[in-house]
A = this chain, B = another copy of it.
Amino acid sequence: MAEWAARLAGVRAVVLDISGVLYDSGGEGGGVPIPGSREAVRKLKASGLKLRFCTNETQATREKFVEKLQRLGFDILVSEVTAPAPAACRILKERNLRPHLLVHDGLVPEFDQLDKGNPNCVVLGEAADNFSYQNLNEAFRVLIGLENPILLSLGRGRYYKETDGLKLDVGVYMKALEYACDIQAEVVGKPSKMFFQSALAEMGVEPQQAIMIGDDIVNDVGGAQQCGMRALQVRTGKYRPCDEQHPEVTPDGYVNNLAEAVDIILKQLDK
């Protein structure tokens, strides 16, 4: 038995990363399910454990994203997903902020309900081709013109992999604007503690009652552990063998994929 499986007492909830755990993104149809992951989600739902999906996906609205996953055969609902854009919307409303958006076109509808005139902050998402010199200059000018520049970044990832190669992620552009304006961004999304806490609150469990399963050693595993949760790294998605020698983060355990993780967890909790 895996060593980590012996320390599962008290676990009542599972938090799943999506990209690289449930499916690999990119290509026709928007991606390919990772073998066994659809069945693993069904087993978790049948087990009585609480379940929540926690993603940094910001290329589409939560609705469109969930539709795609349903088409790929996953048993998943919009209400089960914690994502950066809806979290950012809550923050913007609470603080009376009017955002200038530099995000993917597909994400814009998430912010439909907000006043965007005379902006007093910038919201940065993974914007792909929208990360043009002109658009970055525009976002910069908004920030540098503010007495108290506020930059909300939907994640702090360095890069991700699509079928046609590695792509720079939102964190890279966050660092660019931080340096340009000599400010610190507020990160909404993994690995932010607040983001994991909101996923836990949705399930009504404490951090020590939850286990995170993700492919990203820093954003999934490190972030969840910082929040007091246990965390497993899957050897799928963006996992690389060198992650197992990461200088700062050591997962509670490794599994080959989600299916293996779920089988071990359910077997152990059955005892």
Measured between beta carbons, the chain B residues less than 8 angstroms from A158 are 179-182
The reply to whether A171 and B165 form a contact with Cβ atoms under 8 Å apart is no
Q: In this complex, what residue of B is CB-closest to A181?
A: B158
The reply to whether B179 and A171 form a contact with Cβ atoms under 8 Å apart is yes
B131, B133, B176: which contacts A128 (Cβ < 8 A)? B133
Q: How far is the CB of A105 from chain B (nearest CB, A)?
A: 13
Measured between beta carbons, the chain B residues less than 8 angstroms from A132 are 129, 131-133
User: With A and B bound together, what is the CA distance between A140 and B166 in angstroms?
Assistant: 9
Q: In this complex, what residue of B is CB-closest to A165?
A: B141
Q: In this complex, what residue of B is CB-closest to A140?
A: B168
Number of A residues with CB within 8 Å of any CB on chain B: 30
Instruction: Point out which of A141, A158, A180 has the most chain B C-beta atoms below 10 A from its C-beta.
Output: A180
Measured between beta carbons, the chain B residues less than 8 angstroms from A42 are none
The reply to whether A166 and B179 form a contact with Cβ atoms under 8 Å apart is no
Q: In this complex, what residue of B is CB-closest to A179?
A: B175
B144, B167, B168, B181: which contacts A176 (Cβ < 8 A)? B168
Q: Is A196 an interface residue (CB 8 A)?
A: no
B127, B129, B137, B168: which contacts A168 (Cβ < 8 A)? B137
Task: List chain A positions with a Cβ less than 8 A from chain B.
Answer: 127-134, 136-137, 140-141, 144, 158-159, 165-168, 171-173, 175-182
Known: A132-B132, A141-B166, A158-B181. 14 other contacts (CB 8 A): A129-B133, A131-B133, A133-B168, A137-B166, A140-B159, A140-B166, A144-B159, A159-B180, A168-B176, A168-B180, A172-B176, A172-B177, A172-B179, A172-B180
